[in-house]
Structure 1
């Protein structure tokens, strides 16, 4: 990636420190991308009022709200109605996955995260200019 190309940014909303550390390690190996982390929905909404990332990764079970509520509030309370969002959860129930996709998540990733899937999504976002 040329030095003049801007860094692309991901906001990761996750309250489990181990998951944050793992994701930070993945992003250390992804040139052209940076990772910012917050631990709950309120912090995510505040961060989104101040700046716009290229992608939002949302844990579905946060201490102050669930991922569906955070997505709804993101769409209603911030200027980022079309920000690509991915749901992350260890819960593989088909109805929960379907509900998240119907609510507007672009994808639903099961934990532990598939690093190749993450890299592919980031590449697609980078080449599509989101």
Structure 2
């Protein structure tokens, strides 16, 4: 039986400290591959070239909001079709309030608060896949 490719996660985040933290977290998660994008434009290019199993998106990117990124993907029929079944998680340090509802309406599967709770992240990844 051939080895299965590890599930790929695209993490879209402009804060270098958060990127480094997530890279370290994923080093502790065997069987997962983390790719990073620092802007919405980089994320769109990455999504056009590869099909991650999960997209983690910061809600405040330098060139667009996480909601705008999700809307751009949804508006591109070919890209949206190619990404059908990909899970999307919104990430923010903001008080969730109305943002959770807006994220869900935009097509996000969940909303996680920063700072990331590492044990919860590990549990949630196992539950998702």
Q: Say yes or no: TM over 0.5.
A: yes
Length-normalised TM-score, structure 1:
0.89
In the alignment of these two chains, the number of paired residues is 125
SS of the residue corresponding to residue 85 of structure 1 reads strand
CA distance in 2: counterparts of 1:74 and 1:38, whole angstroms? 15
Which stretch shifts more, 75-84 or 33-42?
75-84
Partner residue of 1:111? 114
CA distance in 1: counterparts of 2:73 and 2:123, whole angstroms? 25
CA deviation string 1:17-55 (max 9, x = no partner): 000000000000001001000100010011111110010
Q: Is the 8 A contact 1:14 1:59 kept in 2?
A: yes
Partner residue of 1:98? 101
Structure 1 moving runs of 4+ over 2 Å: none
Would you say 1:74 and 2:93 are equivalent positions?
Answer: no
1:76 to partner: Cα distance:
2.3
SS of the residue corresponding to residue 32 of structure 1 reads coil
Partner residue of 2:57? 58
SS of the residue corresponding to residue 69 of structure 2 reads helix
Give the CA RMSD over aligned residues: 1.6
Partner residue of 1:86? 89
Q: Which sections of structure 2, spanning at least 5 residues, go unmatched?
A: none
CA distance in 2: counterparts of 1:125 and 1:5, whole angstroms? 17
Partner residue of 2:24? 25
Length-normalised TM-score, structure 2:
0.90
1:3 to partner: Cα distance:
8.2
SS of the residue corresponding to residue 64 of structure 2 reads coil
Q: Is the 8 A contact 1:15 1:39 kept in 2?
A: yes
